[in-house]
Amino acid sequence: MKGLRHVFFMAKGLIGRTFPIERKLLPVFTLFLILFCASCSSAWDEILEEEEEGMEANLTVRTRASGETKLVYPIQIYAYDAGSGELVNEQTIESASDKLSMTLPDGDYHLVALAGMDDYVLTDKMNYDGQIQIGEKAPEEALIQGQAQVSVDGRQTTTEIIMSYQVACVDLILHEIPSEVTDVSVTLSPLHTALSLNGEYASDGNGKVTLTASPSGTTGIWKVPRVYLFGSEGDQTILTITLYEDDEKTVFGHTLKQPLQPGIPYSINGSYLGGFSLDGELLLEDWADVVSLRFDFGTSGPEDSDEEPEDDPDDDEHPSRPSLADIPEPGDIYDGFVVGAVVSEDGDEAELLLVSLSLWVDVASAYNEDHPDEASDYASDYIEQGIGGWTIPTKEEAKLLSEAFAGMNDMDRCNQSLQELSGDSWIASTEEDGNGDLIRYLCAEGTYSYVIGKSGSQSKAGKTRTYFLRLVRRMSITIE
Are the C-beta atoms of 320 and 293 separated by less than 8 Å? yes
For residue 3, being part of any structural domain is answered with no
Task: Give the C-alpha separation, 199 to 146, whole Å.
Answer: 8
The pLDDT assigned to 130 comes to: 93
Residue 151 shares a structural domain with residue 182:
no
- Residue ranges in the chain modelled with pLDDT below 50: 1-19, 21, 40-54, 65-66, 280-325
Residue 221 shares a structural domain with residue 289:
yes
> What is the number of other CB atoms lying within 10 angstroms of the CB of residue 242?
18
Please, what is the Cα angle at 213 between 210 and 216, to 5 degrees? Answer: 165
Query: DSSP for 391-453?
Result: B---HHHHHHHHHHT-SHHHHHHHHHHHHHTT-PPP--TTSB-TTSPBP-EEEGGGTEEE-SS
CATH of the domain at 172: 2.60.40
For residue 453, being part of any structural domain is answered with yes
* pLDDT tens readout for residues 277-293: 555 443 333 333 333 44
CATH of the domain at 121: 2.60.40.2100
For residue 325, being part of any structural domain is answered with no
Q: What values do phi and psi take at 109, rounded to 5?
A: -140, 150
Residue 176 shares a structural domain with residue 160:
no
For residue 428, being part of any structural domain is answered with yes
The pLDDT assigned to 328 comes to: 85
Task: Give the C-alpha separation, 451 to 336, whole Å.
Answer: 25
End residue of a domain, out of 165, 198, 221: 165
Please, what is the Cα angle at 338 between 332 and 341, to 5 degrees? Answer: 70
Residue 159 shares a structural domain with residue 188:
no
Which DSSP symbol is given to 23? Answer: G
Q: What is the pTM of this model?
A: 0.51
For residue 323, being part of any structural domain is answered with no
79-104: string of b/e by CB count within 10 Å (b at 16+)?
bbbeeeeebbbebebeeeeeebebeb
Residue 157 shares a structural domain with residue 192:
no
Task: Give the C-alpha separation, 333 to 269, whole Å.
Answer: 11
Helix (H, G, I), strand (E, B) or coil at 40: helix
User: How many structural domains is the chain composed of?
Assistant: 4
Burial class of 184 by CB neighbour count within 10 A (0 to 12, 13 to 18, 19+): buried
Residue 176 shares a structural domain with residue 188:
yes
For residue 386, being part of any structural domain is answered with yes
Residue 43 shares a structural domain with residue 181:
no
The pLDDT assigned to 279 comes to: 52
The pLDDT assigned to 56 comes to: 59
What's the one-letter identity of residue 370?
A: D
For residue 324, being part of any structural domain is answered with no
What's the one-letter identity of residue 101?
A: S
Q: In terms of residue numbers, what domain contains 90?
A: 56-165
What's the one-letter identity of residue 6?
A: H
Residue 120 shares a structural domain with residue 227:
no
End residue of a domain, out of 317, 346, 365: 317
Residue 174 shares a structural domain with residue 313:
yes
End residue of a domain, out of 264, 283, 317: 317
Residue 276 shares a structural domain with residue 303:
yes
Task: Give the C-alpha separation, 431 to 410, whole Å.
Answer: 17
Residue 288 shares a structural domain with residue 179:
yes
- Chain-centroid distance, C-alpha 261: 14
The pLDDT assigned to 285 comes to: 34
Residue 234 shares a structural domain with residue 370:
no
For residue 2, being part of any structural domain is answered with no
